[in-house]
Amino acid sequence: MAGSIIFIVGFITAGVAAAGYMLSPKGPNQVLYRTMILMTLACMYLMWAITYLAQLHPLIMPRRSDLKPEHFQQHSMDG
């Protein structure tokens, strides 16, 4: 379920983008409105997805700061 939320939110974002594209007001600035809506949603989705995936699969292992130094040295020699 953790990885599928990316696709669920992506489909929701695509639906909102499609609605924004279809419902943008007519006039001389229609292309500007459509571009603004689509770029805003794309940037928001990418920022959310990168942040979510970075927390889901961190690149480095977090270290506990409440361990005693001798416990930390013992485990660093094991691995």
Report the distance separating Cα 77 and Cα 79, nearest Å. Answer: 6
Would you place residue 79 in the very low, low, confident or very high pLDDT band (cuts 50, 70, 90)?
very low
Nearest-angstrom CA–CA distance, 12 and 79: 44
In percent, the amount of the chain with pLDDT more than 70 equals 77
- The pTM of this model reads 0.69
13 exposure class (CB count in 10 Å sphere: 0-12, 13-18, 19+): middle
19-28, 45-54, 62-71 — which is least confidently predicted? Answer: 62-71
Q: What is the pLDDT of residues 20-40, one digit of tens each?
A: 999 999 999 999 999 999 999
Burial group, residue 19, by CB count within 10 angstroms (0-12, 13-18, 19+):
exposed
What is the predicted pLDDT for the residue at 61? 73
